[in-house]
Structure 1
Amino acid sequence: MVRSNDDGNHFGVKAFGIAFLTGSLLVTGCSMNPYLTRRERVEKRSLVATLEKVQAEVGADSDADKDSGKNTGEEESISTISHDVSAGEADPSETVKLIDAEEQLYPTPLEPIQAPAVGEQPALTGGMTLQELESIALQNNPAIQELAASTQKAAGYREQVTTRPNPTVGYQGQQLADRGTDQHLAYVEREFVTANKLELNNRVLNATLAAQLQELEAQRFRVRTDIQIRFYQALALQRQLDLINEFSQVAEKGVDFAKQRMDAGEGTRVDILQSKILLNEVQLTQRQTRAKLAAVWREIGAISGVPEMQYSKLQGTLPSESGIVDWEGMATNMVTSSPEYAAAHDRISRAYALLERQEVQPIPNMAVQLGAGVDYGTNSGMMNIQVGVPLPITNKNQGNIDAAHAEICRAQMEAQRIKNAIEERLAVVSREYDTATAAIDLYSNQILPSARESLDLANQAYKAGEVGFVQILLARKTFFTTNLQYVDAQAQLAGAQSKIDGYMLTGGLNSVIDDSGDSGLRDQTFSQQ
């Protein structure tokens, strides 16, 4: 659908309200220290003042930021694994510990990982929340700062293309070698712009600035989405580590009990080996989970622009339920509300404004020169006026007009491509969302209760002598595995919801669009060529 120039300007005007949201980001500018104080940032960068000027010129009301809150609900409590092997059995004389020496190389993620202190780190005495991570990322992400700078460039170019030319003043002397007849003239010369070219220049760069502001807002969504996805991944890994630590204690008791049974002549070597295998599998899962958590935290630091940021246990909840989503209706709303799509329509508006500007280019400006002086040959004053215009005979700007028509077509196809891309990304996210929802529903209502009941029945059957010790171990392993898989499903649902809230905009460190334009239209205005 082709948007008219007025509609495009209206679409662009909505974007200018974003300037007040980006003020805190622009303060950081291109500073190399992400922890500068507010006063230092203001002294080092004038970006905020520039965008405030842009906002004042446009005079647009801002749209409220899309609520990025998540329907997390209350996290279902997963039954902890704290089964004693048998209620009436004697306490073990000595606890068996089978911890691999290599495990000491992996610091527990429940304690801060030491890193060099950098600048003014936030106080994290109670752990770090999602809001704190987002705040750090929005202030320090380099791609956001890069787009903030490109927005300032667009504002500067817009101001430049509307400025009028400086007048020219000069002196002219004639017949200076013939004393008594020499003539002296002072003059002032000015070029007068016709066909409202400067205002049309402003329209072109105004749409460019609107598109850059929308790209800046889209980048903010990309960073927030990336941070939210990693936050919930780390939160799920923390939850899994808690479960692993609880089950590890049970597995250690199982090894110790198997040894006692063999010493008493009731068990076999197989029972001991099976218990050790289960314990080793738990230890391996623990080490792998710690490594995953450390990697996710490094990703968070990189996206936040503070790779040296110290680790702290995260605070939050994972979603345990979700509702049915109308994906077709959501796709329509997603496209119309996406800042990525709004930027594309602002570029369509720019293309139409550029066509209108190029069509008036052949209309010549008028150069006027006015002079006054004295003629000593007649002992009288003299006045001189000169007017000139270029004749648009051979150059009628047809090439630029044709290019402007082609740019309209290209901008429209780019908007269509972005629309299709949003719908395609939403289709992928809908699959992730629906599969995670189905998994959570099945685990919480059937699989986890069945695993809990199976473990209880296995314990009762073992006490009655109906099953062997290995069956107990298998029931415990099943219960342990299903709990971890349930947490994985919760993390997947949280990630899918984060993408939906962020208009499927991800890639907080991808290369950004610098389409800030240039001041070439002003040169074209006064060269008349």
Structure 2
Amino acid sequence: MNRSLTQKEAEPKKPLVAALEKAEAKAQDRETDELDALEEEFVSTVSLDSTDGSSEKSESIKLIDAEEQLYPSPLEPIQAPAVGEQAVLAGGMTLDQLEAIALENNPAIQELAATTQKAAGFREQVTTRPNPTVGYQAQQLADRGTDQHLAYVEREFVTGNKLELNNRVLNATLAAQLQELEAQRFRVRTDIQIRFYQALALQRQLDLIREFSEVAEKGVDFAQQRMEAGEGTRVDILQSKILLNEVQLTQRQTQARLAAVWREIAALSGVPEMEYSRLEGTLPSESGIVDWEGLASNIVTSSPEYAAAHDRISRAYAALERQEVQPIPNMTAQLGAGVDYGTNSGMLNLQIGVPLPISNKNLGNIDAANAEICRAQMEAQRIKNSIEERLAVVSKEYDTATAAIDLYSNDILPSAKESLDLANQAYQAGEVGFVQILLARKTFFDTNLKYVDAQAQLAGAQSKIDGFVLTGGLNSVRDDSGDSSLRDQTFSQQ
């Protein structure tokens, strides 16, 4: 980049400009050793350049101190430091640690754990046999000498295997709630993983932004030096400042996003007061081809959400069988023993009774149980379709992220790096200005940020796949733990 410095003699000359003009005048008739001495005199601001395509040597003086800081040769790609190494030094938090905290403290998980305990309690209750009734009976108390006194015990005997069928209904209910609990664990784990990789990506982007921010600040300083030396213009300074302001804005926005993601992590973990700690981990840089149809089938069959739906179908069938035996009457037996003072002899009484299923044959409950089977089957089908629909959305995220990572790593990033190298060479040759090389580096910087975004998107999609496309770690949970009404129905017979 050969330039000559000219100033009107009438204008007051700044010290640096005057020194440069003096050096240029002396450069024409001095030997190499004199030029070296001049270079040392202006080592902080000037340098020598002597190349020409026609093999004719020409010498000119230019500013390079800030230039060398901005554009080292060869120019290295902007890369974030190894996140894992920094995290270890800073006592960073790993994904496994965050998951452990969330699984232990997430309120939705604890709520569903309580529903399983409720279901277990109801299951125990509906299988208990009735308490016997004991009593005392006296007759003819007004007729002294003929009064009768009787102590008795009464008990209802369950028929139709109703208690065992009660157990089957509530056992299926408990199984469904246990699957819901497992599904909730996957929801929380998936949400934590997604936010973890989002935060990890933002951390890496902040590393890139801080590095380029230093470059942009030096660019402003260099533009001001060139302006003072008569080499640059006010436009160069303004462009440099605009570029620096854009980087600073990106930094502030990224910091705000990172703070928000961390608050999400803290809320999902059930520890809202948890302080931020630099995360330790790596983002994916490659992925394979996925058979989405086969994966959909595997997720549906393995999903705890779908398993819970099938447990509810089993419960519906057990409930139908239970309602069908409800009309079979229980038998109530009473056995009493006493004394008859009229005859001075003992007494034994035996009483047996059953309700007659004439008016109430439980037909309404049987119809409702049949309808519940249909509803539970359609619910399972809905969940299956929902899983496939959610997986379709994830497949779009996964495939677009995979395509972006492949294109960035194989084409865009290498091209941006090559473009930056060529721009750097052109700048050294004086073919482009410093603003152009700064913008070329900004392009490479933006490309790296987009590459990190694609990595975070791929990591999030993979987390959803691993978690059976279950998300919503703080959504309201399903309390389908049942109740003890079957026991009341067992012994009411009406």
- Per the shorter chain, which TM-score range? 0.7 to 0.9
The structure 2 residue matched to 1:523, chosen from 485, 488, 491, is 488
Shift of the 468–92 alpha-carbon distance from structure 1 to 2, 3 Å rule, reads: closer
User: In structure 1, which of residues 254, 257, 263 is the aligned counterpart of residue 228 of structure 2?
Assistant: 263
2:138 aligned residue: 173
1:87/1:330 Cα in 2 relative to 1: closer, same or farther (>3 Å)? farther
Matching residue of 2:16: none
From 218, 222, 225, the equivalent of 2:183 is 218
Answering whether residue 243 of structure 2 is matched by residue 278 of structure 1, we say yes
Contact 2:46 2:65 in 1 (8 A): no
Pairwise CA distance, 1:484: 0.3
State the alpha-carbon separation in 1 of the partners of residues 493 and 153 from structure 2. Answer: 20
Q: Out of 450, 470, 484, which is 2:415 matched to?
A: 450
Amino acid at match of 1:140: N
- 1:363 maps to what in 2? 328
Following superposition of structure 1 onto structure 2, how do residues 235-250 of structure 1 map, counting pairs within 5 Å?
Answer: 235-250=200-215
Per the alignment, residue 457 of structure 2 pairs with: 492
CA distance in 2, matches of 1:429, 1:92: 48
Structure 1 pair 259–289 and aligned structure 2 pair: CA distance change class (3 A): same
Q: Distance in 1 between matches of 2:386 and 2:466?
A: 16
Asked whether 1:377 is paired with 2:342, we answer yes
CA distance in structure 2 between the aligned counterparts of 1:318 and 1:352, rounded to whole angstroms: 47
Shift of 1:344: 0.2
Where does the alignment leave 5 or more consecutive residues of structure 1 unmatched?
1-84, 97-109, 111-122
Alpha-carbon separation, structure 1, partners of 2:455 and 2:328: 65
Q: Displacement, 1:279?
A: 0.7
Q: Distance in 1 between matches of 2:377 and 2:65?
A: 77
Residue equivalent to 1:4: none
- Asked if 1:148 is matched to 2:113, the reply is yes
Q: Write the letter of the residue equivalent to 2:394.
A: V
Q: Specify the code of the residue in structure 2 equivalent to 1:208.
A: T
Q: What secondary structure sits across from 1:306 in the alignment?
A: coil
Alpha-carbon distance, 1:86 to partner: 11
Q: Deviations over 1:317-362 (max 9, x none)?
A: 0000000000000000000000000000000000000000000000
CA 1:521–1:324: 2 relative to 1, 3 Å = same
Larger Rg: 2
Amino acid at match of 1:179: R
1:199 — aligned with what? Answer: 164
User: Given the two structures, how large is their TM-score scaled by the length of structure 2?
Assistant: 0.83
Q: Which amino acid aligns with 1:363?
A: I
Residue 282 of structure 2 is aligned to residue 304 of structure 1: no
Per-residue Cα deviation, 1:352-382 (whole angstroms, up to 9, x for no partner): 0000000000000000000011111111111
Match of 1:501 among 432, 454, 466: 466
Matched residue type, 1:144: I
Per-residue displacement from partner, 1:458-477 (whole Å, max 9, x unpaired)?
A: 01101111122232122111
1:431–1:263 CA distance, 2 compared to 1 (3 A): same
Question: Which amino acid in 2 is paired with 1:312?
Answer: S
4+ residue runs over 6 A deviation: 85-88
CA contact (8 A) 2:90 2:278 kept: no
Structure 2 vs 1, CA of residues 315 and 471 (structure 1 numbering), >3 Å: closer, same or farther? same
1:182 matched to 2:147? The reply is yes
Query: Partner letter of residue 297 of structure 1?
Result: W
The one-letter code sitting in structure 2 at the alignment partner of 1:348 is I
Query: Which of 347, 357, 363 is equivalent to 1:398?
Result: 363
- Match in the other structure for 1:14: none
Asked if structure 2 preserves the Cα contact closer than 8 Å seen for 1:124 and 1:312, the reply is no
Distance 1:524 1:467, change over 3 A: same
Partner Cα distance (1:463, 1:181) in 2: 131
Secondary structure of 2:65's aligned partner: coil
The secondary structure found in structure 1 opposite 2:472 is coil
Tell me what 1:430 maps to: 395
User: Residue 91 of structure 1: CA displacement?
Assistant: 2.9
Contact 1:143 1:511 in 2 (8 A): yes
Counterpart for residue 91 of structure 1: 65
Count residues with an aligned counterpart: 419
Matched with 2:283 is: 318
Structure 1 counterpart of 2:452, which letter? V
2:372 is equivalent to residue 407 of structure 1? yes
Letter in 2 for 1:91: D
- Output the CA distance in 1 between the equivalents of 2:130 and 2:398: 59
1:224-248 CA deviation, whole Å, 9 max, x = no partner?
0000000000000000000001111
Aligned to 2:192: 227
Deviation at 1:257, TM superposition (A): 1.1
1:254 aligns with 2:228: no
Inter-partner Cα distance in structure 1 for 2:313 and 2:458:
36
CA distance in 1 between partners of 2:417 and 2:239 (Å):
21
* Cα deviation, residue 125, structure 1: 5.9
How far 1:124 moved relative to its partner?
10
CA RMSD of aligned residues (A): 1.9
* Cα distance, 1:261 vs structure 2: 1.3
Equivalents in 2 of 1:125, 1:294: separation in Å?
Answer: 18
**Contact map agreement 1:86 1:463 (CA 8 A) in 2:** no
| Alignment partner of 1:290 out of 249, 255, 267 | 255
AA partner of residue 307 (structure 2):
A
Paired residue for 2:92, among 122, 127, 139?
127
Match for 2:319 among 350, 354, 359? 354
Deviations 1:190-229 (A, max 9, x none): 0000010000000000000000000000000000000000
